[in-house]
Structure 1
Amino acid sequence: MTRNADIHHNWTKYAAWFAALLLFAMLLASCGSNDGSNSGSSGGDHAGQQTADDGGSPANADAAGSEADSGEHAAADAGKETVYPLTVTDKTGTAITLERAPERVVMLGPSDTEIVFAIGAGSLAVGADEYSNYPPEAAELPRVGDMNTNIEAVASLNPDLVLGSASMNAAAVDALRQLGITVYASDPQTLEETIAHIEQVGVLLNHQAGAEAVAAEMRAAIQYVADKVKDAEPLSVYLEFSPGWTVGSGTFLDELVKLAGGVNISADQSGWFEVDSEAVIQRNPEVIIYPEIEGVDLLGEILSRPGWDQIEAVKNDRVHAVTNDPLVRVGPRLTDGLKEIAAAIHPDLFP
């Protein structure tokens, strides 16, 4: 699809590069969400080992705490100690075995970095990607590349477990496995899948209590928002998650808009795609939501687009900024993004 000529980019070179990388990552995530073709997996479970499934094959009967329709399954109840050896099947269909609790963990993306620290396993982290900036201590970790993982840097850290994305880090996952490095690849596509993945990481790292606490907080946040908006009139929403890009159905951002009491004007399309400026004008959203990105005047760009001054959201001063990272990272802060979106759509309900 060609970008509408009315959309102009006025951000810095660095910001544009970063946004392009983010878009590329999210597009890959969308395209690869149901792809198990990179499996190269070993079949079956190991006798006498605790097992859990992560969307690559049917859940094993031994795996407790499964999340319905999530594609990921936590292998134990909250507070239980993980039993090792532990065999799990990840999103690529690959069965991996952890002989003991990991002590050196590398994260290839900021979402997994936030998860590891949130569940109380930050002391196990020995490396992360360039974008892992939260919590603050994560920024001090040795770097292992950006969208292009530095395989040598990862290997030099001697990890006993690497956490990566089945779609965004597909090439790196394969390369690391060829070196004999244990990689667990995930690809949560919904809010509930994100919560289930957090629980699964808790199982892998023997931090189940911390993971269950985070999961409980996220589910409580979802319920809090649902209770607040249940009687509210849904408002039409246009969400521009990065300059010139929006989302349709089948994405966690579309899900957040719905949960927040909104109706995504682009829900008749699927995935992540470039903005059709005329279509937005015609659909006339009541609310426009965009992320605050350092070095990018996205508000100025939105307000300067020809014809957008006639959109209800613009005329009524209903163009709202939300924090960027919680909006685009499938981790513990995703429900923070949900709350911000809900407050933007229904400010009277979230004073």
Structure 2
Amino acid sequence: MFKRKSILVALLLLALLVFAGCNQTKEPDLPGDELTTRSVVDRHGDEHIVPAEIERVISYSPTFTQIILDLGLADILVAVDTNSERFYEIPEGVEAFDMMSPDNEMLISLEPDLVIVTDMTAAGGAEDPFALLKSGGVSVVTVQTPDTLDEIAQDVAFLAHVLGKKEEGQELAHNMYTAIDLYKDLGAAVESAKTVYFEIGAAPYSYSFGQGVFLNEMIEMLGAVNIFGDEDGWLAVTAEAAVALDPEVIFTNVDYLEDPVDELLTREGWQDIQAIQNNEVYLIDSNASSQANHHVIDALEEMAIALGLK
């Protein structure tokens, strides 16, 4: 009887050891790779695998550079485009390059963890311009050009998440939405919509925009009407068309003339336009209105003030 019990106990112990061994094979230690990368999803639902710890970043656009700086991450920048260098205070020692023709070998030599690019740069030819970087194990994140304020807010939150500042990015986006709601209410109260011409390129090569551009959304949000609102995208503008449409208000964000407002007020052939006659020509901050990030709210405020909403 005792011998029989001993055999049963031995069999039971053997079964427990086998079971424990099975459990150990089903729950292996996590490989190192899973601890060094993470996944972030953009507004299109595309997944981006980025390093868990990001210490060296290359920014291909002033839009991205400004977000990085506002997140307090200036110290992780190792290279930026020349426009970023022109617009912002970039830390000493950070390389600057032409975003339209970057030297990929030079960029690789900087040993970046992450490169952030626009879709326009990423589509710069038949071949992937960043293939060399990617083959070297560098994470390249492409951000699609936003057409709306909502997409801008999503991109700000996305990039902050990529950079390990998820909560800070959500706060920036939240502040954007709060401001947007405020200006929507102000615009909804407008009883008589003013017509607006927004010039982003001065004569003789004047440029503006129509539908599908976030600046058009901003004009309409403020209860005004873009004189080219029936057109689509970015537009080359003729003097004849602008004069014929006779805007009541003119905005300009041109930053390469000494006095873009005076240039418009004294532009030959434009003297009969209502905005010119009534001195309703306003300079809108070029950086705030052209960089698709949370600072567009600053431009929105300037536009609201010019239209008499604040």
Does TM-score exceed 0.5, indicating one fold?
yes
Alignment partner for residue 238 of structure 1, among 197, 200, 207?
197
Give the number of the structure with larger relative contact order, counting CA–CA contacts within 8 Å between residues 6 or more apart.
1
Residues 270 and 276 in structure 2, CA contact (< 8 A), matched pair in contact too: yes
What does 1:21-40 correspond to in 2, within 5 Å? none
1:138 to 1:344, Cα distance in 2 relative to 1, 3 A: farther
* TM-align CA RMSD: 2.5
Alignment partner for residue 154 of structure 2, among 196, 202, 206?
196
Residues 326 and 334 in structure 1, CA contact (< 8 A), matched pair in contact too: yes
Structure 2 distance, partners of 1:296, 1:324, is 13
Deviation at 1:207, TM superposition (A): 0.5
Identify which range, 100-109 or 174-183, moves more after superposition.
174-183
Deviation at 1:301, TM superposition (A): 3.7
Aligned residues: 267
Structure 2 distance, partners of 1:124, 1:97, is 19
- Identify the residue that residue 254 of structure 1 maps to in structure 2: 216
* Residue aligned with 2:39, SS: strand
Residues 132 and 139 in structure 1, CA contact (< 8 A), matched pair in contact too: no
Structure 2, unaligned stretches of length 5 or more? Answer: 1-29
Structure 2 distance, partners of 1:207, 1:305, is 47
Structure 1, unaligned stretches of length 5 or more? Answer: 1-47, 49-82
Whether 1:113 aligns to 2:62 is no
Alignment partner for residue 336 of structure 1, among 279, 298, 302?
298
Deviation at 1:246, TM superposition (A): 0.7
1:202-254, Cα deviation, whole Å (9 max, x unpaired):
21111012111211221222122223232113211000012211111111111
The TM-score with structure 1 as length reference comes to 0.69
Residues 108 and 149 in structure 1, CA contact (< 8 A), matched pair in contact too: no
Identical aligned pairs, as a percentage? 27
- Identify the residue that residue 134 of structure 2 maps to in structure 1: 177
Could you say which structure has the higher helix fraction? 2
Residues 166 and 185 in structure 1, CA contact (< 8 A), matched pair in contact too: yes
Report the structure number with the largest CA radius of gyration.
2
Residues 126 and 157 in structure 1, CA contact (< 8 A), matched pair in contact too: yes
Whether 1:278 aligns to 2:240 is yes
Residues 237 and 264 in structure 1, CA contact (< 8 A), matched pair in contact too: yes
1:191 to 1:153, Cα distance in 2 relative to 1, 3 A: farther
* Residue aligned with 2:183, SS: helix
The TM-score with structure 2 as length reference comes to 0.78
- Identify the residue that residue 56 of structure 1 maps to in structure 2: none
Whether 1:128 aligns to 2:85 is no
* Residue aligned with 1:143, SS: strand
* Residue aligned with 1:113, SS: helix
Whether 1:97 aligns to 2:56 is no
- Identify the residue that residue 215 of structure 1 maps to in structure 2: 173
1:296 to 1:176, Cα distance in 2 relative to 1, 3 A: farther
- Identify the residue that residue 120 of structure 2 maps to in structure 1: 167
* Residue aligned with 1:120, SS: coil
Residues 144 and 154 in structure 1, CA contact (< 8 A), matched pair in contact too: no
1:129-152, Cα deviation, whole Å (9 max, x unpaired):
111145424576321324322323
